[in-house]
Amino acid sequence: MAGPPQLSPMLATKGEPDEVRSGFAYEFKWDGVRALAATDGSSLVLRSRTGNDITAGYPELAGLGGAVGRPALLDGEIVAFDEHGRPSFSRLQRRMNLRDARRVPAVAAQVPVAFLVFDVLVLDGPVVDLPYEERRGLLLDLGIAGPHWQVPPSADGDLDRVLGIVRELGLEGVVAKRHGSTYQPGRRSPDWRKIRLMTRQELVVGGYRTGQGSRGGGFGSLLVGHHDEEGLRYAGSVGSGFTDAEYRRVQALLDERVRDTSPFVDRVPHRDVVWCEPDLVVEVQFAEWTPDGILRAPSYKGQRDDKPAGEVVRET
């Protein structure tokens, strides 16, 4: 497909409510997978944050190209909703991790997705240098509401009201976007601030503790960490949150990554450990960080194959 140039998505930094009470627009933070959608006005190509072509995994989104009808590059989030209409990362896992193309149509019928479009990088030509409000206007003017794609709302003014809606709907949080800011491809910019209401963190798996009982022969908990200036820093172990099917799938991934030495730069306080190549990224929900930087009450939420392991740092 001859169409818009391939660019990398702009990324947000961590923010606090008092930092963004004025001069920002507020968008919901969706619990999905980031994607850029390129179209020549008819066909569509979807790429993950890491640049991988994921088009074949989401056939229900193919009609978005025709809905746009012009050469464009759109930024958004692929989301699966639960029976209550809330975004569900666990449901989306069935689509994200599907590798057998023959099974895609059947699973797509069971777990349909939507592409929530929140920015435009190209529309006939590049528009990344336009201010946020103008890009938002261009996006709304496209009128692309459809069965599997839409432009979610943006709000100005009362951040507390927006956060109240987020809590009521059970959403992950808010992304605050500075008025007048340009789109900065590939950059993590303070012009976008993410405010999480649920404590979530992407982490890198560096090994696992061996399991007991029903988990004998497999992992009991994942040993996870994040990068700092010295390397991969140990952040604790995660043993809950796995369905039986997800446990088996993750164990197969671990078996492919076994190594002889620890990838962590600091001491791991366990003996019954199998080390792994540190390239598997997972998302974890937890209560808080302890003073010594360890997760308290962590629970596995899913694998993130859209996040490079080398970019995983502590965000909360």
Task: Give me the pLDDT at residue 217, please.
Answer: 82
Q: How far apart are CA 47 and CA 304, in angstroms?
A: 15
Cα angle value 35/36/38 (rounded, 5°): 140
The mean pLDDT value for 61-85 works out to: 94
Task: Give me the pLDDT at residue 209, please.
Answer: 94
The mean pLDDT value for 86-109 works out to: 87
**Residue range(s) in the chain whose domain bears CATH number 2.40.50.140:** 200-311
pLDDT digits (tens, 9 = 90+) for 113-139: 999 999 999 999 999 999 999 999 999
Mean pLDDT estimate for the chain: 92
Q: How far apart are CA 82 and CA 248, in angstroms?
A: 23
**Where does the pLDDT of residue 12 fall: very low under 50, low under 70, confident under 90, or very high at 90 and above?**
very high
CATH architecture assignment, domain 11-196: 2-Layer Sandwich (3.30)
**Residue range(s) in the chain whose domain bears CATH number 3.30.470.30:** 11-196
Task: Give me the pLDDT at residue 151, please.
Answer: 96
Question: Does the pLDDT of residue 305 top 70, yes or no?
Answer: yes
Q: Is 29 a catalytic residue?
A: yes
The owner of tokens 């938002």 is: 136
Q: How far apart are CA 30 and CA 257, in angstroms?
A: 30
Using CA atoms of 248, 251, 255, 259 in order, give the dihedral in degrees to the nearest 10: 180
pTM for the model: 0.78
Closest CA to 141 of 84, 86, 72, 81: 72
The CATH number corresponding to 200-311 among 1.10.3210.10, 3.40.50.300, 2.40.50.140, 1.10.10.10 equals 2.40.50.140
The mean pLDDT value for 168-192 works out to: 93
**Where does the pLDDT of residue 176 fall: very low under 50, low under 70, confident under 90, or very high at 90 and above?**
very high
Partnered with residue 210 across adjacent β-strands are 219
Q: How far apart are CA 286 and CA 298, in angstroms?
A: 4
- CA distance to 83, 118, 129, 223, 248, per residue, from 277 (Å): 37, 35, 40, 12, 18
Question: Does the pLDDT of residue 66 top 70, yes or no?
Answer: yes
Question: Does the pLDDT of residue 196 top 90, yes or no?
Answer: no
Question: Does the pLDDT of residue 244 top 60, yes or no?
Answer: yes
Task: Give me the pLDDT at residue 93, please.
Answer: 86
The mean pLDDT value for 51-74 works out to: 95
Question: Does the pLDDT of residue 172 top 90, yes or no?
Answer: no
The mean pLDDT value for 229-237 works out to: 96
Size of the chain, expressed as the number of residues it contains:
316
Q: Name the active-site residue from 29, 177, 301, 307.
A: 29
Task: Give me the pLDDT at residue 50, please.
Answer: 86
Q: How far apart are CA 247 and CA 231, in angstroms?
A: 28
Torsion sign, CA atoms 201, 202, 207, 208: positive
The mean pLDDT value for 251-258 works out to: 96
Task: Give me the pLDDT at residue 8, please.
Answer: 92
E runs forming strands in 124-183: 125-126, 149-150, 154-156, 173-178
Indicate the SS3 state at residue 160. helix
**Where does the pLDDT of residue 214 fall: very low under 50, low under 70, confident under 90, or very high at 90 and above?**
confident
- CA distance to 75, 183, 315, per residue, from 11 (Å): 11, 10, 13
Looking at the chain, the whole-number percentage of residues with pLDDT higher than 70 is 98
Looking at the chain, the whole-number percentage of residues with pLDDT higher than 90 is 76
